[in-house]
Structure formats: C-alpha cells, structure tokens
Amino acid sequence: MSAQSSIACDIVVFGGTGDLAMRKLLPALYYLHRDRHLHADTRVLALARARLDTDSYRQQVRRHISQYVAQGDFDEAVWQQFAQRLDYMPLDVSQRVEFPRLAKALEAGAERVRVFYLATFPELFAATARHLHSVGLADERARIVLEKPLGQSLESARQINDEIGSVFDESKVFRIDHYLGKEAVQNLLALRFGNALFEPLWRNAHIDHVQISVLETVGVEGRGGYYDQAGAMRDMVQNHLLQLLCLVAMEAPVHFEPEAVRNEKRKILEALRPISGMDVQDRTVRGQYSKGSRAGEALPAYYFEKSVDHDSNTETFVALQVEIDNWRWAGVPFYLRTGKSMAQRKSEIVIQFKSVPYRLFGEGRGSPMHNRLVIRLQPDESISLSLMAKSPGRGMSLQEVELDLNFAEAFNKRRWDAYERLLLDVIEGDATLFMRRDEIEAAWRWVDPVIQGWQDCYRSPKRYAAGSWGPDAADSLLERSGHAWLDER
Ligand code: NAP
C-alpha cells in the first residue's frame, strides 16, 4: 500500500460541503496526496447546491483540513499543490437538467476512472444514479460509492439497490462501512487467518462468549434531525456492529478477494437466530439518555438536543444477545452494545475463552482462570491477550497479566485513517472491504423484526443518565447467563 496508484481518476464528491466530506473525505485525500498515493493526474470535483466558486470552496476546505489532520501534518506547500487538484461546481442532484454541465466538466478526462462518491442522503441516491446514466456518465469506467445507512428497512434498502442496480453493475457499487477500513479490524483477519495459534480455538468448544461494544461519549452532535428518524439500531447495529460480528464469526474465505470474503460474511448474517415477538424483551435492551454529567460537566437529555422531538421514543442505546445457529458457534452468545453519551468512548471486541476445566492451584487462588483476547478499535488500535501467570513470591497464587500489542508503538508509522485506505481501494477497484447487496439486505432482514418487535410492545426506551454505562437492564441481560460487560467502571 505504499506505491503511487497507476490509475488516473476523477473523484466526484456529491455533498462536497457536508460534514462527512469536510471531516473525513477531504482530509483523507489530502493525506493520500501528501504521501504520493494519488496518480499525478487525479482530480477531485466537489458538488453541492451552495453557490460557491472554486476559490471560496478551497478556502473552506483549507480551514477544515488544517483542523482535522493530526497536529503538525498540515503543510502549506502540500496544501497549495493539493488545492490544484480540487474544483467545485454547484449542482442539485435532484435536477436532471443540471447533469449535462457535470458531463461537460468531466469530458476532458474521458479515458479516466470516475469515482462518484455519494456523501449525500440515501433519498437522493437513486436520482443521482439515474441522472448520471442519462448523461452517459454511468459507463464501464464509473464506480459509485454509497454511504451508510442504506435505507431504513429491508424494503427501502431493496428499492435503493434496485434503482442503483438498474444503472450500475454490482461490481461497480461500493457500499462503504468505514469500520472495515480500520487497521485493527483488518488485523483481526490477520490474527485469525495469518496465525496457526487461534483458529483451532476459535469455536464453541473453547470460546465462552463474545462482546462487541461501540460506545461514544458524544450525543447526536447537531445531527438530531437525522438521528431521531434512525436510532442506534439502524445507525450502528445494522451496519458497523453486524459487520464486526461477521468478521469475528465467519469461516476462512478461500481467497482474500471480494466475492470469497463477502460470501462468508453473508453466511453468518443468514445464520443469525431471529429475534422477534417475545424474544425482543428477553434478548434486547433499548435505552435513551436523560440528563447527566461526565467529569463534573452537565450533559443534556436526548430529547433536549437540537432537532429532536421532545416526545421522542428513539433509542440512543442498544444491547443485544445474539446467537449464531451454525456448528462453529452454537451455544456461544454474542453480546452487542452501542450507545451515545456514554461514560467512555471505546470500540472493542472481546473474545472470552472458557475457563480451565480444573483448578489445579486451588479454588479462590487467583480467579477467573480464563483467557481473553481484546481487539480495540478506539480510542487506540491495539490487541491484547490476557493470560494467567504466577504471582511473584511464595506459593502458587495466579494473577492475570496482559500481552499487549499497540499498533502505533509496534510499527512506529502514522496510522492510516479508514477513509484513506477505502478511497484507494475504490480507485483500484478492490471491493473486498465493501458490502455487497445481499449482505446489506440480509442484515436488514434480521434487524427489521427487532424494530417491529419494539414497536409492537409499545415500550419506551429505558432511560440512562448521560455519561453513564447505559441502562441497568443492559447489565442484567448478561448477568442472566453469568456474564458481565468487561468495562473498567
Ligand atoms: P451533511 O453535513 O448534512 O451534508 C450533506 C451534503 O449533501 C451537503 O454538502 C449538502 O450541501 C449536500 N446536499 C444535500 N442535498 C443536496 C442536493 N439536492 N444536491 C446536491 N447536494 C446536496 O451530512 P453528512 O453528515 O455529511 O452526511 C452525508 C451522508 O453520509 C449521510 O447519508 C450520512 O448518514 C452519511 N454518513 C455521515 C457520516 C459523518 O461522519 N458525517 C459518517 C457516516 C455516514 P447543500 O445543502 O449545499 O446542497
């Protein structure tokens, strides 16, 4: 991944003035430019409705990039070169008549790869694809990138997929889930399939349970209008958490290439035991934050956030007990949890192995006698393995010690942001880390009945104080099976 791409490309960012573009996509492109991964002729054309000229757009981007790249990484000379790649054009994607202008702007690069990055809203995806097609831009060299969430339900996701599919071949569609671009997530694959050590143990005979947590300290951060319609289940579980679960649980693919990897992930989604009807009460917890505090700072309740309905029933927290009905995982609970305005920001996967079958060193002398593998994605990317070791001194008292691999320290290299890696994959046409249509639909097929179950039982989400670890019911969910969330509370 260090060579310069041999592919000259036009990257067209729809929604080029938005939060995602400014905070993630353009800083990622700046780094790719700085580190010489982009072809010298690659250009970036940003589009949105705002009537800006290229100069004022570049000023806006400069402000954001200097704020969002790591301290010391903004370099005026590099920026000046990068800015030369960058253009802006006002365009309303819902207006077909505006697309001939776009076709004209891209005419000069007729032989180049074209990446259409849809950093707008799912409601606009179908019209954008249709209008690109109508002016001949949805051709062999075009690739389309779709941001999550893709739809609000199986039906709406299918509709978007059908409309996109009527214009772009599936091999040209890149449905992005930036969690898959994270180094630690790819390291999970390296750990599982690049080492002989773990795979024989990676099954129900040896694994007790798995926890996948994606916890944020932030609330809805000005995105209340969107979030109130979506909720944590659609915003996080349907995509990020289920994708992480797939990578933990899938069988080894025959090759590390798109179809083989995605076939294995889909099989896991199809093996998820449905949660519907009464199961919803036993195996799920929904929460919503009320006012609270963190480190002495008062935090608002969700229903006081901007653009959120005061009577909102939207969940900002979800905990689930998930079962995978296949030979490898039968009987192993996978606990998934995500929440906003939590006590701590962390994304991690915990693999808890079973305890030793017999306590050779006596009861009570150093519990719990089981090993644990923790793959941490945020705030730092690291992998740690807890082992039992003898405590120094007389007698055989055991204590837990950790083998730690912190990637930043181990490799002494700047960590790539997920969007850098994924943008380069799109340019190179490698869809291994992107979701295929059937995966997205299989995930919705499992998620829809849970949401329906919540609606049918008319229960409001359980309140939890902002800045806490979520509703007590999320702890009880695990306690029933003798487990507990592995938090440092
Ligand atoms: P945002 O800040 O509201 O930006 C939306 C962008 O779309 C703006 O540039 C807006 O500019 C443009 N736009 C809206 N309607 C348009 C139209 N008819 N024609 C052309 N451009 C139009 O939203 P965002 O947070 O960047 O999110 C964009 C998408 O990415 C959403 O689907 C979101 O769920 C997803 N996403 C965002 C993040 C994130 O970190 N922000 C992370 C993952 C996924 P004008 O209003 O000037 O047209």
Question: Which residue's CA is minimally distant from atom 3 of ligand 1?
Answer: 18
Residue 444 has pLDDT above 60, yes or no: yes
Whether residue 253 has a cis bond before it, omega within 30° of 0: no
Residue range 320-338: mean pLDDT, rounded = 98
| Domain final position from 126, 147, 168 | 147
366 — pLDDT class (breaks 50, 70, 90): low
Instruction: Note the pLDDT tens digit of each residue in 279-325.
Output: 999 999 999 999 999 999 999 999 999 999 999 999 999 999 999 99
The pLDDT tens digits of the residues spanning 451-474 come to 999 999 878 999 999 999 999 999
Residues 187 and 45 in one domain: no
Check whether residue 70 and residue 184 sit in a common domain.
no
Examine the domain organization and report whether 209 and 290 are in the same domain.
yes
**pLDDT tens string 397-432:** 888 899 988 877 778 778 889 999 999 999 999 999
Give yes or no for residue 365 CB within 6 A of ligand 1. no
Does 169 score more than 90 pLDDT? Answer: yes
Domain match, 303 and 389 both = yes
318 part of a folded domain: yes
Give residue 462 CA to ligand 1 midpoint distance, Å.
31
Same domain, 201 and 336: yes
Single out the residue in 123, 147, 171 at which a domain terminates.
147
**Is position 162 within any domain?**
no
255 and 372 within one domain: yes
Q: Given a cut of 70, is residue 364 above it in pLDDT? A: no
Name the CA dihedral angle for 123, 127, 130, 133, rounded to a multiple of 10 degrees. -110
Residue 423 lies in a domain: no
**Domain end residue (candidates: 147, 163, 190):** 147
Full residue range of the structural domain in which residue 75 is found: 9-147
Q: Are 238 and 293 in the same domain?
A: yes
Residue entry with tokens 């609970």? 333
172 domain-assigned: no
Give me the catalytic one of 33, 240, 255, 370. Answer: 240
Are residues 235 and 378 both part of a single domain? yes
- Look at residue 284 in the predicted model and tell me its pLDDT: 97
pLDDT in the model for residue 154: 97
- C-alpha 423 to ligand 1 mean position (Å): 17
Q: Which DSSP string do the residues of 77-95 spell out, in sequence order?
A: HHHHHHHHHEEEEE--TT-
Asked if 310 is an active-site residue, the reply is no
Residue 29 makes CB contacts below 8 A (sequence gap 6+) with 11, 38, 44, 82, 423
Q: How far apart are the first and last CA of the chain?
A: 39
Do 235 and 331 reside in the same domain of the chain?
A: yes
Same domain, 209 and 320: yes
The answer to whether the CB of 240 is under 6 A from ligand 1 is no
Pairing of strands 207-215, 9-14: unpaired
Asked if residue 156 is part of any domain, the answer here is no
Q: Is residue 410 part of a domain?
A: yes
pLDDT digits (tens, 9 = 90+) for 368-396: 678 999 999 988 888 999 998 888 988 88
Domain containing residue 39: CATH number = 3.40.50.720
Asked whether 94 lines ligand 1 (CB < 6 A), one says yes
Report how many domains make up the chain: 2
The residue whose CB lies within 8 Å of the most ligand 1 atoms, and thus the one to mutate among 121, 223, 240, is 121
pLDDT surpassing 60 at residue 1: no
Ligand 1 near 151 CB (within 6 A): no
Question: Is residue 299, in this structure, part of any structural domain at all?
Answer: yes
Give yes or no for residue 148 CB within 6 A of ligand 1.
Answer: yes
For the segment 5-63, what is each residue's pLDDT rounded down to a tens digit? 888 999 999 999 999 999 999 999 999 999 999 999 999 999 999 999 999 999 999 99
The mean pLDDT value for 96-102 works out to: 97
Mean per-residue pLDDT, 203-229: 95
Are 200 and 130 members of one domain? no
Q: Which CATH number fits the domain that encloses residue 192?
A: 3.30.360.10
**Is the C-beta atom of 411 inside 6 A of ligand 1?**
no
**pTM of the entire structure?**
0.94
CA of 231 to the centre of ligand 1 (A): 18
Same domain? For 388 and 466 the reply is yes
Q: What is the pLDDT of residue 178?
A: 93
Q: What is the pLDDT of residue 87?
A: 97
Task: Establish if 431 belongs to a structural domain.
Answer: no
Start-end of H helices in 194-325: 224-232, 242-249, 258-271, 279-283
